[in-house]
Amino acid sequence: MSALAQLLERHQHEFGPVLPVDLNAPEVTHLDFTAANPVVAQADLRDTASFEELVQQLLAEKDAAIGVGGYLEDRVIYRRSPELFGDAARPRSLHLGVDIWLRAGTPVLAPLDAVVHSVEDNEGFGNYGPTVILQHQLEDTTFYTLYGHLTRRETALLRPGMTVEQGVAFTEVGPAPENGDWPPHLHFQIIADMQDYVGDYPGVALPEEREKYAALCPDPNLILQSQWL
């Protein structure tokens, strides 16, 4: 376990929610977007409406309203955007955050006090869309949380250097197509070192980079604390 992961584990009782929903509730379920799920492996993921129908189907099968999952999951869904994630010969498919699949317009909350590090609209099919990166301080350690697939309207109100108090809603989950043309969901990721990135950071890596990025991007469930992750 990395030093940041150990720090977050020690402070788990201090974190607030990232969304105004109970991620331990029975209406939440884990969604599998790997090749092991035949429904996903055979789906038409280039068509966002069909992808949204697939998400709703997966939720309905488990009598759920919200789906979660994805940390260090080797996924097939990025084949929808080979221009971003690489072709079949060398795909980036290892997901570095947690996705929370729920309705667009859901407020996004700061899990602890923060300063806005950067804001960017990462446009393009399959990209993050509107993105916010918050900077946090715990003990003497600085780290970051990334929020992707947001609304343009709310995200455009943010500026680097603005303070965001724990529990305050600072943006919303975005709709397609402005969210990078995905079914509505929040991509939530913890980052130890921004490595000079501003308004963006890899959310998907090559499978052989697993060890490197597991250290740079600890398990988001250290903050989310969902039984389904």
Q: For 96-148, write each residue's pLDDT tens digit.
A: 999 999 999 999 999 999 999 999 999 988 899 999 999 999 999 999 999 99
Residue 16 confidence class, pLDDT cut points 50, 70, 90:
very high
Which contiguous run of DSSP H or E holds residue 40? Answer: helix 38-41
Report yes or no on 101 lying in a domain.
yes
CA distance 194 to 17: 23
Q: Which residue has the higher pLDDT, 20 or 79?
A: 20
With the CA atoms of 109, 112, 118 and 123 taken in that order, what torsion angle do they form, in degrees rounded to the nearest 10? -30
**Mean residue pLDDT across the chain:** 92
**How many percent of the chain have pLDDT more than 90?**
78
CA distance 60 to 158: 36
Q: Total domain count for the chain?
A: 1
Residue 47 lies inside a defined structural domain of this protein: yes
Global confidence as pTM: 0.94
Going 46 to 49 to 50 to 54, the CA torsion angle's sign is positive
Question: Which among 90, 70, 89 is positioned nearest to 182, based on CA atoms?
Answer: 70
pLDDT reading at 17 higher than 70: yes
Residue 229 lies in a domain: no
Whichever domain contains 171, its CATH number is: 2.70.70.10
Average pLDDT over residues 184-204: 96
Q: What's the pLDDT score for residue 33?
A: 86
- How much is the pLDDT for 86? 55
Is 218 within a domain? yes
pLDDT at 81: 54
Range of the domain at 54: 3-224
Under the banding of pLDDT at 50, 70 and 90, the label for residue 90 is low
Q: Give the model confidence (pLDDT) of 33-70 as tens digits.
A: 887 888 877 777 788 898 899 999 999 999 999 999 99
